[in-house]
Structure 1
Amino acid sequence: MTFVGVKLGKLLAIFPIMYLSGGTCVMFIITGGGTMKLFYQLLCWDCSSKHPLTTTEWFLVFITLAILVSLFCANLHSVALMSFLGATMAVGYCTILWIVFVAKGKVDGVVYDPSEAVSSESGRIRSIFNALGIIAVAFRGHNVVLEIQGTMPSTPNRSSSKFMLKGVVASYLIIAMCFFPLAIAGYWAFGNKLPINGGVLVAISTTLSYHMSKPLLGLIYMQIIISCVTAFQIYSMVVYDNLERVYASRAKHECPKLVRMGIRIFFGGLTFFISVAFPFLPSLALIIGGISLHLTFGYPCLMWIAIKRPPMKSAKWWLNLALGCLGTALSVLVVLGAVWNLVCRGLDANFFHPR
């Protein structure tokens, strides 16, 4: 029974983590490659019209850069500098955006009434589910947990729980400092004129490009690219580590550099193929993130009960059980809301035709 429990535990934990890491890396390729295309067009509009690179080719440029950077990262502990650089870039472009929103003021004809965008009661409920899903996915903390485990591991003699707690609190504070001012200032300035699909990247390239200078827009593009490249290293490292562990356990020796390089190229090629085959994946971000949301909000509480074994029906037992069930229920609600929203709005499934 113990063997079955260990196998089941690995299946329930490793598969969602690998799936989430791969899906998130595909998102970074699509976002980073698309931003590279916009950045090139901004810098060289005249020459880009003569021999323009396609979106697929920009995806290839991004994944090539990401693979080259990954060759200098041996494990999660080695991506601490990458993580700091990516976080700095994210704080930078989020701060620049909301400052620009406030400085430029409201656009003409801005509308705040939700009835202008949602015409039925069911539509409003769907929008609420969608908003809750976006907030939950923004604070999911998968990358935070991975980095903390990689840089501050606990040992039987020395627990790093206090340092981990400080790291989580600091990370979530930074996320809140980035996203809440951006959301509030963005909605105040543009209201319902922001594009429904596509996120910040589409908003920057369409609605917002007319409200800021080219150097500032180029700086934002560059920060997004660097943020995507560095974040790619964090999520892909989970896949690298697991594949290298499988190789080492079967070959009975440490993974050589050539095999390590091959693993990185293989994973990069696989995610590149998926990004070209399914370029509409960002539209499914809430579904992809919601399926694995319980990894952050559900699993830890239930794992604490299984590991610490508090007295059944005690206060701590009930608290962790309730939080674990609540996190799992939140994951289900996010997926249901995302599917409902997708059914009502439709999906432009442009297979093998990235734009």
Structure 2
Amino acid sequence: MSLSYSTIAWVACLARGRVENVSYAYKKTTSTDLMFKIFNAIGQISFAFASHAVALEIQAIIPSTHEKPSKIPMWKGIIGAYIINAICYFPVALVGYWAFGRDVEDNVLMEFERPSWLIASANLMVFIHVVGSYQVYAMPIFDLIEKVMVKRFKFPLGVALRLVVRSTYVAFTLLFGVTFPFFGDLLGLFGGFGFAPTAFFLPSIMWLIIKKPKRFSTYWFINWASIYVGVCIMLASTIGGLRNIITDASTKFYT
């Protein structure tokens, strides 16, 4: 799905051509605003390439033996996945910026009105993709909440508990999305606060604890560098995304 609607997006931009008086110059803004926008952009990038947690869940269900370890097909799958990821993102970013310059929308599909059937098809693909990915990322949260409700609050595990917990969670995320409909800002916030820890530095911390490599060895340096960079990404993008949400909400709240 993502490959399909991404292709529609950049091909539509290419067919549309550059808008009149397109500008590639920086928007006039204060140095503070620029800094926070850069922080938010870092979060958006980390969101786009932070699928390690899901990759581990997939690897956990792949049969693995000493003769045929699961890491071999998993490594091939990850390389293929990131190649497809790049094919989806980079053409949209490059062609979208070429067509609309500095005024391009966070969601480039919002720049188009015609042909209506094509834009509707792309948005339908986005919807189907998000519904599926929502299940993947929400299931661990459902499981965590239900365990807490059963163990700490002694609720009986069953259909009723799952219906209430999952419906409440979905309703909360829906309310949050309607209240703060700032696509780019939310990507930056969740990229930093939600995905940077699990993707960029927690795996390195766990690896150092388990493997205990020799201090100042190559792998020791690589993992500590990953931890340092990951923490910086988490702090910068979380602050940038949160600040931009507050700024946008002050002028666009429920409008």
TM-score bin, normalised by smaller chain: 0.7 to 0.9
- Change over 3 Å in CA distance of 1:273–1:104 after alignment to 2: closer
Give the corresponding residue for 1:162.
72
Kept in 2: contact 1:290–1:331 (CA 8 A): yes
Give the corresponding residue for 1:173.
83
1:214 corresponds to 2:116 = yes
> Which of 321, 325, 328 does residue 224 from structure 2 map onto?
321
Gapped regions of structure 1 (runs ≥ 5): 1-88
Give the corresponding residue for 1:104.
16
TM-score relative to the length of structure 2:
0.81
Gapped regions of structure 2 (runs ≥ 5): none
Count of matched residue pairs: 252
Q: Which has the higher contact order (CA 8 A, sep 6+)?
A: 2
1:46-75 deviation line (CA, Å, top 9, x unaligned): xxxxxxxxxxxxxxxxxxxxxxxxxxxxxx
Q: Measure the CA separation in 1 of the matches of 2:221 and 2:249.
A: 41
Q: Measure the CA separation in 1 of the matches of 2:62 and 2:118.
A: 37
The one-letter amino acid of 2:128's match is: I
Deviation for aligned residue 1:311 = 2.3
Give the corresponding residue for 2:169.
267
Deviation for aligned residue 1:189 = 0.7
1:187-235 deviation line (CA, Å, top 9, x unaligned): 101112323xxx21xx434x322xx311111111211111121111111
CA root-mean-square deviation: 3.3
Q: Measure the CA separation in 2 of the matches of 1:158 and 1:249.
A: 38
Deviation for aligned residue 1:179 = 0.8
> Which of 242, 264, 272 does residue 144 from structure 2 map onto?
242
Kept in 1: contact 2:192–2:234 (CA 8 A): yes
1:204 corresponds to 2:105 = no
Kept in 2: contact 1:118–1:124 (CA 8 A): no
Q: Measure the CA separation in 1 of the matches of 2:231 and 2:63.
A: 26
1:227 corresponds to 2:137 = no
Deviation for aligned residue 1:306 = 0.6
1:254-285 deviation line (CA, Å, top 9, x unaligned): 95455444443343334334445x33464343
Kept in 1: contact 2:40–2:236 (CA 8 A): no
1:300 corresponds to 2:212 = no
Q: Measure the CA separation in 2 of the matches of 1:325 and 1:147.
A: 25
- Change over 3 Å in CA distance of 1:303–1:156 after alignment to 2: farther
- Change over 3 Å in CA distance of 1:128–1:273 after alignment to 2: closer
Deviation for aligned residue 1:124 = 4.6
Q: Measure the CA separation in 2 of the matches of 1:301 and 1:249.
A: 31
Give aligned-pair identity as a percent: 31
Kept in 1: contact 2:193–2:234 (CA 8 A): yes
Q: How does 1:30-179 map to 2 (within 5 A)?
A: 89-114=1-26, 117-121=27-31, 123-141=33-51, 144-145=54-55, 147-149=57-59, 151-152=61-62, 159-179=69-89
- Change over 3 Å in CA distance of 1:143–1:318 after alignment to 2: closer
TM-score relative to the length of structure 1:
0.61
1:104-136 deviation line (CA, Å, top 9, x unaligned): 21111111122xx13455555444433333222
The one-letter amino acid of 1:108's match is: E
Q: Measure the CA separation in 1 of the matches of 2:166 and 2:242.
A: 33
1:286 corresponds to 2:188 = yes
The one-letter amino acid of 1:184's match is: L
Deviation for aligned residue 1:102 = 1.1
Kept in 1: contact 2:45–2:191 (CA 8 A): no
